[in-house]
């Protein structure tokens, strides 16, 4: 089952699911964090290019997954603990088991998707903003945009409000960089104005959309080419051109939130099951149908 919402270039909106249904935003949270970082930099609260204290890498390196920081996502012990319903580990354990103190390479010399990198980025952003991540997102993004459904999930009780029944019992603390939750329509209403020239400056948007990694097609998924900017997955889709946004998944559901600049359409699709591909295919189908209907 898939629930989607969309906006077009004229800011017309639509959706095909229950109004107000809530979903985990999983790694679309990284896109939101990167928008926060760019807004804080514009306000003079952050220097994105200076190396962090005691680190060889910068905030930009973390945002682009080019810091050489390892990840806990491939740890079998992590996935077993999540599946067995354990309480989230203390932060030190996934860092230790992943070997976070041993870099993969010098900053800027490679690409490696890293939740640990975004965990570090969260701390940097919270210190710069002077508040926790939930308040930061509300102050910098959802408040100005008037998005009322979005919150930072911190307890299993938060996930009891999720649309999918299978969410019950999952602890969002397993997502160490933070997991936002909200409606499909608010996901589309967040990404759309940013990608069409609102909320952040033109210069910041250009930085965000500059790809620091490129690759080819992924079997079973709609992308004919892929890349990554600053908290922003980038792809190309036959008949639609570029796609900018983020996919994400957890044990029981997945999402794909993308803007298609050639058509001016933004789509947020959420599906049950722990595979991003169905949500990506649905998002691209909707964008193609909207473009064809003009």
Q: What is the pLDDT of residue 294?
A: 72
pLDDT in tens, 243-283: 999 999 999 999 999 999 999 999 999 999 989 999 999 99
Q: What is the pLDDT of residue 10?
A: 86
Q: What is the pLDDT of residue 73?
A: 93
For domain 2-292, the CATH superfamily is DD-peptidase/beta-lactamase superfamily (3.40.710.10)
In sequence order, the β-bridge partners of residue 257 are 246, 268
Q: What is the pLDDT of residue 133?
A: 98
Q: What is the pLDDT of residue 232?
A: 97
**Domain edges within the chain:** 2-292
Q: What is the pLDDT of residue 190?
A: 98
Question: What's the CA gap between 18 and 256, in Å, rounded?
Answer: 18
Ranges of the chain whose pLDDT falls below 50: none
């Amino acid at each position: 089952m898939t629930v989607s919402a969309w906006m077009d270039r004229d800011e017309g909106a639509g959706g095909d699911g229950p109004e107000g249904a809530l979903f985990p935003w999983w790694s679309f949270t990284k896109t939101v964090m990167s928008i926060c970082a760019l807004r804080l930099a514009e306000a003079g609260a952050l220097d994105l290019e200076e190396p962090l204290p005691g680190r060889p890498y910068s905030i930009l390196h973390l945002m682009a997954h080019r810091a050489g920081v390892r990840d806990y996502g491939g740890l079998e012990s992590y996935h077993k603990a999540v599946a067995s319903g354990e309480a989230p580990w203390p932060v030190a354990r996934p860092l230790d088991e992943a070997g976070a103190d041993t870099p993969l390479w010098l900053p800027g010399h490679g690409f490696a998707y890293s939740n640990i990198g975004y965990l570090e980025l969260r701390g940097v952003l919270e210190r710069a903003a002077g508040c926790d991540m939930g308040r930061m997102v509300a102050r910098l993004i959802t408040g100005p945009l008037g998005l009322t459904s979005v919150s930072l999930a911190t307890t299993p009780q938060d996930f009891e409000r999720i649309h999918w029944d299978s969410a019950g019992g999952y602890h969002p603390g397993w997502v160490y960089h933070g997991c936002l939750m909200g409606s499909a329509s608010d996901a589309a209403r967040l990404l759309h104005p940013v990608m069409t020239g609102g909320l952040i400056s033109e210069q910041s948007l250009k930085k965000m959309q500059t790809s620091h990694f490129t690759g080819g097609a992924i079997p079973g998924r709609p992308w004919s080419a892929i890349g990554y900017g600053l908290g922003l997955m980038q792809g190309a889709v036959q008949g639609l051109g570029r796609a900018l946004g983020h996919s994400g998944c957890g044990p029981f559901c997945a999402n794909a939130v993308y803007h298609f600049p050639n058509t001016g359409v933004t789509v947020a699709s959420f599906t049950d099951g722990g595979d991003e591909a169905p949500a990506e295919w649905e998002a691209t189908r909707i964008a193609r149908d909207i473009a064809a209907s003009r």
